[in-house]
Structure 1
Amino acid sequence: MVCEPLSTDTRIYIAGHRGLVGSALWRHFTSRGFADLIGRDSIGLDLRDADATRAFFEETRPQVVIDAAARVGGIAANSARPAEFLSDNMRIQLNLLDSAVASGVERFLFLGSSCIYPKFAEQPIREEALLTGPLEVTNDAYAIAKIAGIFHITAIRRQYNLPYISVMPTSVYGPGDNFHPHDSHVLPAMIRRFYDATRDGVNVVTCWGTGHPRREFLHADDLADACHFLLDRYDDDSVVNVGAGTDRTIAEVAQLVAGVVGYRGRILWDATMPDGTPRKLLDVRRLTELGWTATIPLEAGVQSTYEWFRRHQDAYRT
């Protein structure tokens, strides 16, 4: 099933428009002439508040909603605060979806995460792998919340026959990422760690785990383009993977980041810390067959992300 392409006067609410993915979506649609974009930061609207969310939808009346709002973080944050990750994400997506249906939102794109898939899923991971095995314990709370969102979308389609869809991106990075030394994901954490070491003249940097797991990385601008593509062309119950189609070991990524940053010291690995899932590469054939592929190479993406970090480094000083 295919929807009509969005027109540039479509009123689009980008939930989480200040975050990594949300800001990329805002850049994408603005650059393509969309003039009726809606955004609210968490101070102006707490999406965990059902009444406030419902009132916002009644006031603004968006035609399309893209849910890029979530509590996110790396292994350390997920492991330390699983209850918060489960509760906050469940409430955010529940309030967004309930309000969307009640206010007549025509299309909704729910952004999940590749962590919804089993820890030992066959690689590359097909969409059909969902719920076929146990999750990775270091982010299972977040994954369960996202799985609930997928089934909420399916229930809405079944009950109301609305063209709401679920999109599962791989690990996303890019300008506007979180570079916090403890709560960030692996790639921005490495950028911050190697930058700090180079600035301070430190000759040894220790990274978590063994460096052996393999990961796939998708630039946020590619993900934004894929979301627009799917809103224009996709209407189905099945989730859609969005990825780059290739992966690298964490050790290889560390070497790449160190080279971009200019770090020339030693890189050690702390095997007492968790590795997470051994490999996580998405099967993107469903999206490729629709006509979309990622275009930003990892080397170029890391370079642009590092340059953005350098321009905004004052915000990340400890």
Structure 2
Amino acid sequence: MTHLAADDRYETMPYRRSGRSGLRLPAISLGLWHNFGHTRSIESQRAILRRAFDLGVTHFDLANNYGPPAGSAEENFGRIFAQDFRAYRDEMVISSKAGYYMWPGPYGEWGSRKNLIASLDQSLGRLGLDYVDVFYHHRPDPDTPLEETMGALDAIVRSGKALYVGVSNYTSEQVREAAAILKDLGTPLLIDQPRYSMFDRRIEEDRLLDALEEVGAGCIVFSPLEQGLLTDRYLKGIPEDSRMATSHFLNEDRLEGDVLDRVRGLNAIAAERGQSLAQTALAWALRDPRMTSVIIGASSVRQLEDNVASIGNLEFSEDELAAIDKLSIG
């Protein structure tokens, strides 16, 4: 079974350069964190991936521990890729990461050369690929020298197992240090992947985008919808099948205080823009031209289509931004 991609797949999606590199990513990337493990229908996953590619989403973001269970998102993506997308490999950017816990013992997490190289070899096996386009160190390691971690990333590029390397959850100071080491080794830092949304603006206080601009790297953010909080999902309560009701990543205490009032206020702004709250939240995260891409998750084709439609209006007035500032959370 091979997917016949839509002829118009590149007509509407904007593509943004990652820092000063030659690589451009779609403004909307698809993340396989929650909805592509063995607990989900493979046919549902296939439908989402096919539709994403037809909408111009060329970047698929994975990690070794995505699932559940850990590793299953890569396995399922690899299975679907082999059946549907192998003919389109050169039109796709496939990324993976290592750094969080993956297997028992002293080598199954963090940032040692041993862990990163072994993790990537395992990921390539699950994906059925010879290389990934981007390989990330998933989180800073407080104990391993940064020179060792960046040296491993450099070695991975030189081995041909990744075309580019990035980091995730690194602060501006850590980005500068990592980029300097990689530059000396001859492998530039492509991108950083932090958390960012209307309800989590810590990267602004850290001036992360300034640091990335200095070193020539891009920025791609995860959780721009705060695990569904910045959607219309919780405006009237907590649905039984929602992530807040079923996942430990989003708890009911997130709605404490005036949070729900803030969500409703943001929803009103989105309605005035002719968008859903999710669409406005994604457009807002993309408002800085230095932002390369935002990563969305999707549990259905309909949800995917709604989120990708955010590219239809990426402009904000000063009044809109000021109103959002009053309702956002730093």
Scaled by the length of structure 2, the TM-score of the pair is: 0.34
Larger RCO of the pair (alpha carbons < 8 Å, separation 6+): 1
User: Normalising by structure 1, what TM-score?
Assistant: 0.35
